[in-house]
């Protein structure tokens, strides 16, 4: 079987469209702002540009982002779009002022902050952030795993915002357990709460991989983004919890198939409609410091068939 280019239709489109929020500024890539901005412009000229989501930038670095964008040549900027998700830090009020000022500098097109992300470890913090952030922004709140996710998720739902889960790190001991990820997915599905996943999702399928791009880097078992999506879809569509677990833990790369009709593995199947509604209503995107690795590896694994 020969790998094929991604078709911009069918189940492949349902899975990948707008999936990858590009976080090249963050580890393990940790690129300088000019390089990350130039990458985002260049990715929009790839054949698979339709899988590109938003550019991830800390609110405190928005001015630096503007300077890097201004420094791009006219040819590099021609025809590009600049949807942003801005990260709020320890002082969200100050960061919200920076985001507001950025919007005032760009009132007529060009770069635009569409979403905000922040950490929230308590119901009080969730309520406070939900009240402080203007409703014109999508707000994703990163919840700590292993705690009272039911209460935290309910608070996110009440605030009318969205959840976020961190599925990896550059340190093996900071990866969440499969049970914690499944608990997050089950809670969000029960509450009909949209979410975003980030970190450790460079690869389509679960498996052992280097934690950084350094030679001789330590490795860890990483969650594949297809695994997370499939487990999310199983919960969203009311499948048995054991099916969601099987999807999350699937590591038989040759056995997984993503074709025009759907995603299948070892007797399990999710059709195009199920994948599309999961992406539209539930799993909104993944954050990755690489745009190319998650897509190019999927092609190289011969999991996309005509």
pLDDT in tens, 114-127: 999 999 999 999 99
CB burial class (10 A; 0-12, 13-18, 19+) of residue 267? exposed
Asked if residue 16 has pLDDT above 50, the reply is yes
Task: Report the chain's terminal Cα–Cα distance, integer Å.
Answer: 10
Per-residue pLDDT band at 3 (split at 50, 70, 90): very low
More confidently predicted of 306 and 263: 263
pLDDT of residue 306: 45
Compute the average pLDDT of residues 195-207: 95
pLDDT of residue 300: 66
More confidently predicted of 25 and 306: 25
User: Among candidates 191, 279, 268, 176, which has minimal Cα distance to 221?
Assistant: 176
The residue assigned the tokens 């899988």 is 51
Asked if residue 28 has pLDDT above 60, the reply is yes
pLDDT of residue 303: 56
Cα 162 from Cα 153, distance rounded (Å): 9
More confidently predicted of 11 and 270: 270
Give percent of the chain above pLDDT 90.
Answer: 87
Q: Provide the mean pLDDT of the chain.
A: 94
110: phi then psi, degrees, rounded to nearest 5: 85, -155
pLDDT of residue 166: 98
Instruction: Give me the domains of the chain, ranges plus CATH numbers.
Output: 17-250+277-288 (3.20.20.70)
Give buried/exposed letters for 12-28 (b at 16+ CB in 10 A, else e).
bbbbbbebbbbbbbbeb
Encode pLDDT of 54-84 as tens digits: 999 999 999 999 999 999 999 999 999 999 9
Asked if residue 186 has pLDDT above 90, the reply is yes
Eight-state DSSP code of residue 25: T
Asked if residue 293 has pLDDT above 80, the reply is yes
Cα 280 from Cα 63, distance rounded (Å): 32
Compute the average pLDDT of residues 177-193: 98
Query: Which of 42-56, 150-164, 200-214, 252-266 shows the lowest per-residue confidence on average (mean pLDDT)?
Result: 252-266
21, 288 contact by CB (below 8 A): yes
Ramachandran category for residue 134: left, alpha or beta (phi over 0 → left; psi -120 to 50 → alpha): beta
Asked if residue 31 has pLDDT above 90, the reply is yes
Compute the average pLDDT of residues 285-295: 96
Ordered strands of the 257-258 beta sheet: 257-258, 262-265, 268-271
């Amino acid at each position: 079987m020969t790998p094929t280019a991604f078709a911009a239709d069918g189940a492949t489109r349902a899975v990948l469209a707008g999936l990858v929020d590009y976080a090249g500024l963050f580890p393990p890539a940790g690129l300088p702002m000019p390089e990350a901005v130039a990458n985002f412009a260049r990715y929009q000229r790839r054949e698979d540009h339709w899988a590109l989501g938003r550019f991830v930038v800390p609110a405190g670095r928005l001015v630096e982002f503007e300077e890097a964008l201004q420094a791009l040549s006219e040819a590099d900027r021609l025809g590009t779009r600049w949807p942003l998700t801005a990260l709020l830090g320890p002082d969200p009020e100050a960061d919200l002022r920076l985001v507001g000022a950025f919007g005032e500098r760009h009132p007529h097109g060009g770069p635009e902050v569409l979403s905000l992300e922040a950490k929230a470890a308590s119901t009080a913090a969730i309520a406070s952030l939900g009240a402080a952030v203007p409703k014109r922004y999508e707000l994703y709140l990163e919840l700590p795993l292993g705690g009272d996710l039911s209460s935290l998720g309910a608070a996110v739902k009440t605030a009318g915002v969205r959840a976020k889960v961190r599925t990896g790190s550059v340190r093996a001991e900071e990866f969440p357990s499969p049970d914690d990820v499944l608990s997050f997915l089950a809670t969000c599905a029960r509450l009909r709460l949209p979410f975003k996943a980030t970190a450790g999702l460079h690869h389509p399928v679960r498996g052992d991989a280097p934690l950084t791009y350094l030679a001789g880097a330590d490795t860890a078992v990483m969650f594949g983004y297809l695994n997370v999506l499939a487990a999310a879809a199983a919960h969203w569509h009311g499948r048995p919890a054991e099916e969601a677990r099987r999807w999350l833990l699937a590591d038989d790369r040759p056995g997984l198939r993503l074709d025009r009709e759907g995603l299948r593995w070892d007797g399990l199947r999710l059709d195009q409609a199920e994948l599309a509604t999961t992406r539209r209503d539930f799993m909104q995107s993944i954050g990755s410091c690489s745009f190319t690795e998650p897509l190019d590896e999927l092609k190289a694994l011969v999991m996309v068939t005509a």
